[in-house]
Structure 1
């Protein structure tokens, strides 16, 4: 009788179970089962199992409440059916890889996301997935040690940008690694708030508000990222000790780099190009800025290239206390716009910046001019105060007044002064070395390649 019961239960398991155990650690999902609830598969698994999904569609709104690895094939689809979060992680030690996740809800107040990581979770890896939907792509709060690598995250291009969710939203998350993702048509590509020690590298951002948005963060690093066709490239707001280097911004509307109430940070070796606001709200004051410094102090801005923009650097409201040197200002409509009432020196240890259009002399042959340079003069300040007179900017009278100022070397009462301007641009091929967005291998692919492992894994 006992043998009969065992055989009977074995027959039932073969024909009805949606999963079969390959061994104690791996579960292969039966590819013949249609419209599988992902939650049922997760519930059947044991802690630390590896669930290998087949090439079919699974219904989402699933909660992973135990340590698991969930891995798919190129056509493994998780469909959240237009509501809630597709997958919620409610356990430590969870890996989600190689899935196509789509159609989650758009209620940001309810934290709808493609992948939602609950409070307090740690050791989470999300890699090589394609996420397409409204709401947040990936969201985590109050967690630490999360890796998000080589994912393609897309929002709704038809929605107003501020009504979209962020591609990756991390609040009070420490030690996050965000590497090699392509993020487009969202609000902010990566939004980081009140966290510490994040690394954001090798990512591509397009068609969104900001590429990276720091808010109240500390001790972060971002390098080798590229942002194109965005409102702003990299926004550093109310943060401390951020190292932003070797990034690219091309074709932004408002700014390339923003330092807003941010202190003790390094901004260096970034390439910022073609920041032009096609729809300004007033004749001046809303121009595209390669860099905008507002109320920020004790930062170091050096070895950057600010080119082909309406304004190279716009500084206002207490931004005087920064070191700005060894930068290249090339073919900007105005290299500097400074709204303040003091003389601000933009050189450091007798090393100034390169200014296209500047003509000086270098008697010592050290590469720096003995003639100081004022990138914005009295007339510029007059036009900023009275923008209605902007049409006179290129008039013969204005040209004569500028020439007169230069001949008599009238010392300004306020403005930016570079006492050691560079005679030629620095030969530095390592400025902003991120790959162009069009050349990135994931951009034109519906399925993310799984052949490129993360280079910055915390869990190797």
Structure 2
């Protein structure tokens, strides 16, 4: 059967909607997008001045000295060996328009002035839906900086700061302020201030990144409705810092060799910290009177959060709670081989179990008459004498003396004043090998 064909006039009269859609497609600037190839900085600068929306500019191998701006929606890409070098000043690439992308470029040597927002890639306000992929960025200031945008995507990049600069003088690997729904994944970020810093942002998703040799891996500040999973942090001051934020879902991440903490919940609410593996939080210069020991998780003035099914192991302190950290659910966790399992500075009696299941505490030898994996007696990870030694660490040499053993026994037999501290009424006796 012969296929029917229609003239433009027939379509216009009989199928106006279809006709309008076809005309819109034909008239769209993207339908006339061109591909341009450049070989040097001068040609690149000239091409950027005359490029049309939707065009692609590809850089051939070579070093492109200078600072370059994307004036409209374009795709900037490079062949292997294409290097943009900002010569130590300003931002290397500035993105001014939405729906632009940068890929497969080596970007280096941008400026160090954080107040002027010097960055490898600077994304301007309202440049929504920008995509930065497969690049290697190395410089002093911010790796990628964006404010007041939406749906920026940063993936499969290597971002390296300057290890010779003081840590707090470096830029962050990815700095996003007032950005909605950013997507950050499969990046390797090192020697920066914070790997990913999110401020007043919402609905972020950060996953499968690798962070090391920096202040914090992921740092949330005044954010809402964020999620992070599959990230690995090593050799940092802190792993995951959740500060003055709400509804953060931090799950299935790892952190090791942190100086201060693996996870921090600081004046944050309604967040979930679950199924994370935190180990080797240790401060060689940590002192109890300063509270700067290495902590698996540090809860400071944070309420209504859920900390569940995490592994906190081999740290100075497994969990440290202070300054109004009551009102959180803590259950199903494993506290393994920490020098101090729990340090709680407060005047309340807190129950750390939920629906008849508590936490696993290495070193606790409880009875289990009915063989259900739960100890028959509650577990108190610290007592009044522990608090005394925290307040007066110079008396620590007495901890293992016979008189202290007698005092602990007396304390267990006679209640002196209202009971405070931590109690796990259903301590688990079996370790969860899945964590």
Fold similarity call, TM over 0.5: yes
Provide the residue aligned with 2:369 in structure 1. 363
**2:284 is equivalent to residue 278 of structure 1:** yes
**2:85 is equivalent to residue 66 of structure 1:** no
- Structure 1 residue 286 displacement after superposition: 1.3
Query: What CA deviation, in whole Å up to 9, does each residue of 1:217-264 have, x standing for no partner?
Result: 000000000000000000000000000000000100000000001100
Provide the residue aligned with 1:233 in structure 2. 239
**2:213 is equivalent to residue 199 of structure 1:** no
Provide the residue aligned with 1:323 in structure 2. 329
**2:40 is equivalent to residue 29 of structure 1:** no
**Rounded Cα–Cα distance in structure 1 between residues aligned with 2:338 and 2:42:** 58
Higher relative contact order (CA 8 A, sep 6+): 1
Name the SS for the 2:179 alignment partner. strand
Provide the residue aligned with 1:439 in structure 2. none
- Structure 1 residue 67 displacement after superposition: 0.6
Name the SS for the 1:143 alignment partner. coil
**Rounded Cα–Cα distance in structure 1 between residues aligned with 2:330 and 2:190:** 32
- Structure 1 residue 40 displacement after superposition: 2.1
Does the aligned pair in 2 maintain the 1:60–1:87 contact within 8 Å? Answer: no
**Rounded Cα–Cα distance in structure 2 between residues aligned with 1:191 and 1:327:** 27
**Rounded Cα–Cα distance in structure 2 between residues aligned with 1:113 and 1:209:** 18
Cα 1:417–1:320 shift into 2, 3 Å? same
Cα 1:282–1:426 shift into 2, 3 Å? closer
Name the SS for the 1:319 alignment partner. coil
**Rounded Cα–Cα distance in structure 1 between residues aligned with 2:115 and 2:315:** 37
Q: CA RMSD in A?
A: 1.7
Provide the residue aligned with 1:89 in structure 2. 95
Provide the residue aligned with 2:50 in structure 1. 44
Query: Which of 261, 264, 267 is 1:255 aligned to?
Result: 261
Query: Which of 337, 340, 347 is 2:343 aligned to?
Result: 337
Q: Unmatched 5+ residue regions in structure 1?
A: 1-22, 432-460
Provide the residue aligned with 1:174 in structure 2. 180
Does the aligned pair in 1 maintain the 2:216–2:239 contact within 8 Å? Answer: yes
- Structure 1 residue 123 displacement after superposition: 1.0
Tell me whether 306-315 or 36-45 shows the greater mean CA deviation.
Answer: 36-45
Provide the residue aligned with 1:53 in structure 2. 59
**Rounded Cα–Cα distance in structure 2 between residues aligned with 1:302 and 1:178:** 25
Number of aligned pairs? 404
Does the aligned pair in 1 maintain the 2:36–2:55 contact within 8 Å? Answer: no
Does the aligned pair in 2 maintain the 1:38–1:59 contact within 8 Å? Answer: no
Equivalences for residues 25-424 of structure 1 within 5 A = 25-31=33-39, 34-36=40-42, 38-280=44-286, 285-406=291-412, 408=413, 410=415, 413-424=419-430
**Rounded Cα–Cα distance in structure 2 between residues aligned with 1:264 and 1:283:** 30
**Rounded Cα–Cα distance in structure 2 between residues aligned with 1:329 and 1:156:** 36
Cα 1:99–1:162 shift into 2, 3 Å? same
Query: What CA deviation, in whole Å up to 9, does each residue of 1:184-212 have, x standing for no partner?
Result: 00000000000110000000010100000
Cα 1:30–1:114 shift into 2, 3 Å? closer
Query: What CA deviation, in whole Å up to 9, does each residue of 1:150-190 have, x standing for no partner?
Result: 11000010111111111000000000000011000000000
**Rounded Cα–Cα distance in structure 1 between residues aligned with 2:113 and 2:396:** 45
**Rounded Cα–Cα distance in structure 1 between residues aligned with 2:141 and 2:400:** 48
**Rounded Cα–Cα distance in structure 2 between residues aligned with 1:292 and 1:275:** 11
**Rounded Cα–Cα distance in structure 2 between residues aligned with 1:30 and 1:86:** 17
Query: What CA deviation, in whole Å up to 9, does each residue of 1:26-51 have, x standing for no partner?
Result: 434244xx443633222232110111
Cα 1:118–1:108 shift into 2, 3 Å? same
Q: Unmatched 5+ residue regions in structure 2?
A: 1-30
**Rounded Cα–Cα distance in structure 2 between residues aligned with 1:403 and 1:329:** 24
